[in-house]
Amino acid sequence: MHEVTYIRPRNLADAVRLYRTTPGCRPLAGGTDLMVMLHARTLRPEPEAVLDLWSLAELKGVRRAGDMVEIGAAESYTGIIASRDVQQHLPALAAAARTIGAAQIQNRGTLGGNLANASPAGDTLPVLLAYDAVVVTDRRSIPIDRFFTGYRKTALQADELITAVRFPLDRQVAFRKVGTRAAQAISKIVMAVSRSPARVAIGSVAEVPLRARRAEAALERNDVDGAIAAVAEDIRPIDDVRSTAAYRRQVTQSVLRELLEDVRGAR
Amino acid sequence: MRFTLNGQAVSFEGSGARRLLDVLREELGATGTKEGCGEGECGACSVLIDGEVVDSCLVAVGQVEGREVTTVEGLADGGRLTALQQAFIERGAAQCGICTPGMLLAAHVLLQQAGRLTADDVREGLAGNLCRCTGYTKIIDAVLSCTK
């Protein structure tokens, strides 16, 4: 049987070095995506090794850094939900984290994993887009709207590790996920919206989590009906096992209308 | 690598990338933990790591080095069942039984964490555990009977 080597770095510097120097190595955090693919042997190329980032202290925790909140790439959703700073400044992120799986998944899932996996259905990803989050890596900062480059493709270089995600403090963002049931569902659509600045970020409606630029332009002109019409043109939904393109288009418009009411009410 | 399984020190020689689920069942004889979907959807393989409920199919065994793992075998104190296990028996909260170990562990954590629980709290707390017999009503009754 194909045996994958398990590597446990001592600290972040060690992890960065090992990731650069170990051929065929995949970073592992909570395993909610990677362990499934590893076991089913659906990863191509098949990894020779996994680099375990889960226990690295440098990648844990939620902290205030000046006028930002910084969340470690390997902090669990449970830790994010429990954080005072997240509850106070990033309630939409807490709301999104609560919709991810159930306790078992929230105890293991991480922002770093959601980003690196880059699924168009990743539930936190529209929230990151609506907050204009910044992805911090071992070598640079990447604005979130330049992070997703194609279906499950990211701007990360082959040997680059995500270390944290930074969020601004003072933005009203509303979040909504539509799935087959409240818990443990993969999204049919997932959306996060900010009114000022205008951000309409949607998952499961294209090959990447996307910003609906036409809808945002309409919102900047205070044209709510125009935004709701335009969002149907911004998205590129498909028919798949979870939903149909027609359903997704219609529900995207309804959810956008609801969320715009939510953010107006919150101000 | 070494970890604690139900209070006993255990060690395992082999790749730390193997699933905790497989090492428990195949190497350590702890077959109380069941495999359902193998994708983190069903919760049948739930175990506790340092008291937190996780799906053991999603954990690389290397990740539990130095940690404390509790499986269903570790719930009872010797031959004495917990109140929750007793309630599962008395209220018929097990049918085919494959979800029962995971249900017990997730409910055990829930009962430790929360104050007064409602049926909705229990449903939410056990949302990561599927019962293929759909025997949820009796499971929820059994958990609720253990709340103060």
Of B19, B53, B57, the CB nearest to A103: B53
The answer to whether residue A55 neighbours chain B at the CB level (below 8 Å) is: yes
Of the pLDDT bands very low, low, confident and very high (cuts 50, 70, 90), residue B4 is very high
In chain A, residues with a C-beta closer than 8 Å to the C-beta of B143 are: none
ipTM: 0.96
Mean pLDDT computed over every residue of chain A = 94
- Residue type, position A115, single letter: L
The answer to whether residue B121 neighbours chain A at the CB level (below 8 Å) is: no
> Tens of pLDDT along A131-171?
999 999 999 999 999 999 999 999 999 999 999 999 999 89
In chain A, residues with a C-beta closer than 8 Å to the C-beta of B19 are: 35, 39
- Cα separation, A220 vs A140, in Å, equals 30
Domains parsed from chain B with CATH numbers: 2-74 (3.10.20.30), 83-145 (1.10.150.120)
Mean predicted confidence (pLDDT) in B20-49: 97
Place of tokens 């009872």: B76
| pLDDT beyond 60 at A267 | no
Question: For residues A43 and A81, is the Cβ–Cβ distance under 8 A?
Answer: no
At A183 the pLDDT is 67
The answer to whether residue A237 neighbours chain B at the CB level (below 8 Å) is: no
Domains parsed from chain A with CATH numbers: 5-52 (3.30.43.10), 57-168 (3.30.465.10), 173-266 (3.30.390.50)
Residue B12 has what DSSP assignment? Answer: -
- B58 to chain A, closest Cα gap in Å: 5
The answer to whether residue A190 neighbours chain B at the CB level (below 8 Å) is: no
pTM value is 0.95
By CA distance, what is B17's nearest residue in A?
A: A6
The whole-angstrom distance between residue A9's C-alpha and the CA centroid of its chain comes to: 25
Mean predicted confidence (pLDDT) in B76-97: 95
- A172 to chain B, closest Cα gap in Å: 27
